[in-house]
Structure 1
Amino acid sequence: MAMCQIQVGDDPDENLRQVREALALAGDVDLAVFPEAVHLRFGNDLAKVAEPLDGAFVGELRRAAREHGTALVAGVFEPADGDRVYNTAVAIDAAGDLVASYRKMHLFDAFGDRESDRVAAGDWPVVVDLAGVRLGLITCYDVRFPELARALVERGADVLVVIAAWGQGVFKEEHWTTLVRARAIENTVWVVAVDKAPDRSRPLSGGPGGVGRSMLIDPMGTVLADLGPFPSVRVGEIDTRVTEHVRGILPALAHRRRDVL
């Protein structure tokens, strides 16, 4: 598995070039995870570039996955009602087939931003079989809602994949690192959390996007990789036997009080 902490800019073609470069750097891996909104940086006219999932941008992601023989998860924009878009995570297998998509459910109307002005909310959790594991898909602000992560684990997710363009600001990096670890610990599950590399080129609505700090976290909450603040591609291993071991010594999921909660 590769975490691809790339920069995302104002040109979809340039963003695709960075996706291809990251896949080449990742080498022979089963799965590559990219940030939210790889399609186009927030602060642009998202509706102008949004495409159906059978459009050109996702088509190029599918081509890249097929050429490298690597499944991938990445964030794109689909048209929605009016001038809004769906903030969508796509899951593409190593043959280049689009096997699932997830529309972000929780919109970032916080810290002075209003994502709902330009983005329409999705309404259904998604778990997908990809690269030999079951992935539960989470996008950015979603990670603040533990009930979504728990619902994905209830649906059989072996790994929670969190893609983000996390807003910069006071204490925001602390929130990111704390929340992604918390989702691993409370669910005794693997978490692959991939944020975009920090954007320092110009201010955006709600603050510049990306804090970096993409992480691979095991079901005990151990941070096995932290990519820091710069563009990076890091390869790591997900071993679901660790999940079985941790749940054997920490059976918190089995201890839930379903009779009262």
Structure 2
Amino acid sequence: MTDPTTGRLRVNGASLHYEVRGEGPLLLLIAGGSGGAASFDGVAGDLAAHHTVATYDPRGMSRSTLDDPGAEQRVAEHADDALRMLDLLSPGEPARVFGASSGAIVSLHLLTTHPERVGRVVAHEPPVVEVLPDAADHRALIARVRETFKTEGPMRAVAVFAAGLKKDGAAIEPPAEIELPPQAAARAEQTMAGLPYFIGRIVPGFMSYAPDVDRLAALSDRLVLACGHDSRGELPYRPAAFLAERLGIELVHFPGGHTGLTTHPAEFCELLLKTLRA
């Protein structure tokens, strides 16, 4: 696989690191969590056989720097960053967009605010908990995470957050130490380094976001809502399933769970290509 072309894009309040591979219609991949562009390393090469694939580190993550490191993070601003990427790499042409988790929230906002720039959106487990009937319970979870972050630090806040996402709210046991290949080890280190920013800024800002459901309904022919096959019963699964039923569209199940992109890259990539062609 050839190395990607890299660049930097100046946006409002930040400088974004981005990578481009392949040829053909643009496919913009928007990362969730704290992994950034590297979270797509397992699939970007195969996707680039069919598309010009663009990945980037969201503002404040990894190589994308903030002018004000203490700035609050808003979905609308992150979606504007994605729009700027489209304007740079696919000017005047609608692009395909895939978003994972918090990146899927960004993709939903991009679709509702700039539908002329988007031909198709695949949103994988966007945790838009405000659409759920029990949204108040999830607001309480985010409040607990924020308080834990302030009083006990980011790693304890991550544990509280992760437990709230599971089926039964069970405590999360730390994984056993394993030796990773160098590239995977570097990605894991990057993910860990970004956790304080993710749990302190992205989680509270993004999980309080309420999408424009009526607007999504009007644009549902361009929207694919997706979930992990193994995510049933977990919190990130429920908003996508709820929205798919409300909008009257199919809920597409991808291999693995919330991080199926990492755990089942080949199968995930194959289904993503099929979904983009549909």
TM-score, normalising length: structure 1: 0.36
Report the structure, 1 or 2, having the larger strand content.
1
TM-score, normalising length: structure 2: 0.34
Report the structure, 1 or 2, having the larger helix content.
2
